[in-house]
């Protein structure tokens, strides 16, 4: 499918990202006290919606949004047989890698690890997958810059590996269309465990991400909404200095995104 670079004209959105539409969308980030952007692709009309078209092209670490493709690679390489496979707790708490959440330090299924974003599980899977397989699949999926120079296993949270919001959206669209080198069964598994909200009117499949690197907090929410008339793919990335206190930072990823999705009537 041809990828267009047009901006949808709906409500607050304007023809050019240089005029009022972009400014109006930026107010949602200002209200949350963060910087960032939301990038949306309207599948039915094949059109892009940007809050900041320049930021949509900038690369940064994917953080836990990498679990989307990481799960597919783990399944396809047969590192795990399915989402119900249990990964044994490694028996040590390295908060540099695994974060400050003691409730995740236990044996758990890959499905649960995806849902609660237990980073240590996917680090253990990454050790078995290996950089050669990552390079192969990331290139085949046109995922980010494929810079795996970070020596640590957790290369999606630290180092020079990066992906842009628009690239995130294109990946999600390819997953939706099942155009990448993964089996139908593995797509089915991923799409099932990505469901974060389901109503009579729409389904949201998505993944959050949050990393702290170079003195910056970087938060993501990426996914897609299927309603009765259309599908919308989205990637929101917000940032702030780590020295700045903002207790709503994590929630802002979803608040901003859903506000914009409501504006375009993707969700109720």
Q: What is the domain partition of the chain in residue ranges?
A: 20-263
In this predicted model, what pLDDT tens digit does every residue of 53-110 receive, in sequence order?
999 999 999 999 999 999 999 999 999 999 999 999 988 766 555 556 889 999 999 9
Inter-axis angle of helices 119-140 and 67-76, to 10 degrees?
A: 80
For tokens 């009537």, name the residue. 265
Tokens for 184, please give them.
Answer: 């139908």
Top-level CATH class of 20-263? Answer: alpha beta
pTM assigned to the model:
0.90
Does residue 14 have a pLDDT over 50? no
Pairing of strands 35-42, 231-241: antiparallel
Active site residues: 64
| Percent residues over pLDDT 70 in the chain | 88
Mean of per-residue pLDDT scores for the chain: 90
């Amino acid at each position: 499918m041809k990828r267009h670079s047009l901006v949808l004209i709906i409500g607050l959105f304007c023809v050019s990202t240089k005029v009022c539409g972009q400014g109006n969308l930026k107010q949602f980030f200002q209200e949350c006290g963060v910087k960032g952007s939301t990038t949306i692709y309207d599948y039915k009309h094949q059109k892009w919606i940007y809050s900041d078209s320049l930021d949509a092209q900038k690369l940064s670490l994917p953080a836990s949004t990498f679990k989307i493709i990481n799960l597919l690679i783990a399944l396809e390489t047969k590192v795990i047989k399915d989402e119900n496979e249990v990964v044994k707790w490694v028996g040590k708490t390295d908060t540099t890698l695994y974060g400050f959440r003691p409730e995740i330090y236990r044996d758990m299924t890959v499905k649960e690890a995806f849902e609660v974003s237990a980073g240590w599980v996917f680090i253990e899977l990454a050790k078995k997958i290996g950089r050669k397989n990552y390079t192969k699949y990331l290139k085949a999926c046109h995922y980010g810059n494929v810079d795996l120079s970070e020596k640590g296993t957790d290369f999606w949270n630290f180092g020079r590996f990066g992906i842009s919001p628009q690239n995130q959206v294109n990946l999600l669209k390819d997953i939706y269309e099942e155009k990448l080198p993964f089996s139908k069964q593995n797509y089915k598994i991923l799409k099932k465990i990505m469901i974060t909200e389901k109503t009579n009117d729409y389904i949201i499949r998505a993944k959050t991400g949050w990393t702290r690197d170079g003195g910056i907090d970087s938060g993501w929410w990426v996914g897609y909404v299927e309603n009765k008339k259309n599908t919308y793919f989205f990637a929101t990335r917000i940032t702030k200095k780590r020295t700045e206190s903002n207790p709503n930072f994590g929630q802002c990823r979803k608040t901003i995104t859903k506000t914009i999705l409501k504006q375009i009537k993707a969700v109720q």
